[in-house]
Structure 1
Amino acid sequence: MNDAATHLPPGAQLLGREWLGFDASGHALIRFQAQSAFTNRHGTIQGGFLAAMLDSATGICALAALTPELTAVTKSLDTRFLKPARVGAITAKARVTERTDRDMIVQAELVDAEGITVADATARLRIVARR
């Protein structure tokens, strides 16, 4: 596991990100804590926070697949909002679906405490050397 995958920058701290490891099917599991401060006028989690969770999950999944001298930056994040998300724990399941020397595609979904998929995304990332 890449050390950078467990480092918590301020944005990850805000989202309550917690690395859980890999499940039996090889998906990276990352838990987030959706706070009441993240809600919109409907009382559900605002889509921008869900997109941030998906971006964080796909990025951390990519880092877990790379050697320590490499990192990845998001080029695009195609996000779909499927169901309203509530305050509380939201778990991301992410996996690398394609990889070349320079690029990686990672897919992720966000699942609420009741097992409902609330959003998903496909991220295209560029692999670069760490500075």
Structure 2
Amino acid sequence: MSDATANLPPGARLLGREWLGFDESGQALIRFQAQVAFTNRHGTIQGGFLAAMLDSATGICALAKLSPGLIVVTRSLDTRFLKPAAVGIITARARVIERTERDMVVQAELIDAAGITVADAVARLRILAKA
């Protein structure tokens, strides 16, 4: 296990999550590795794995915008599957679109290696104090 993945939660490790940072427009960039083990009978990435990537991307984007004493939990994840996703690198772009003291709304999209948006989601997150 590399230093980059040593502190990741098991689900993030499974998805091959890699935090890339914020781009010049302020969007969070997160890379995932879609594995052959994630495919369905059609040979494309099963929707549940894409939803997990979107949940992970929206959560890590939100955490990057919060002070260290706060965490978020997902209350809802409204997901759309737009195109079949292939095995390989999938990059998420995520941004906070609304925030109050207790809640945050984050939008994210998944883009495949060819630059095609394969899925997107809006997550509603609850902000909590770290236990």
Common fold: TM-score over 0.5: yes
Q: 2 CA distance for matches of 1:52 and 1:7?
A: 18
User: TM-score w.r.t. structure 1 length?
Assistant: 0.95
Structure 2 letter corresponding to 1:10: P
1:1-131 maps to which residues of 2 (within 5 A)?
A: 7-131=7-131
Q: 3-state SS of the aligned residue for 2:11? A: helix
State the identity as a percent. Answer: 81
| Aligned residue-pair number | 126
User: Paired residue for 2:3?
Assistant: none
Structure 2 letter corresponding to 1:102: R
Q: 1 CA distance for matches of 2:63 and 2:105?
A: 12
Q: 2 CA distance for matches of 1:7 and 1:123?
A: 24
Structure 1 letter corresponding to 2:78: D
Alignment deviations for residues 71-116 of structure 1 (CA, whole Å, 9 cap, x no partner): 0000000000000000000000000000000000000000000000
The Cα shift of 1:16 comes to: 0.1
Structure 1 letter corresponding to 2:64: A
The Cα shift of 1:7 comes to: 4.1
Structure 1 outlier segments of 4+, above 2 Å: none
Structure 2 letter corresponding to 1:77: L
Structure 1 letter corresponding to 2:108: A
Give unpaired runs (5+ residues) of structure 2: 1-5
Q: 3-state SS of the aligned residue for 2:45? A: coil
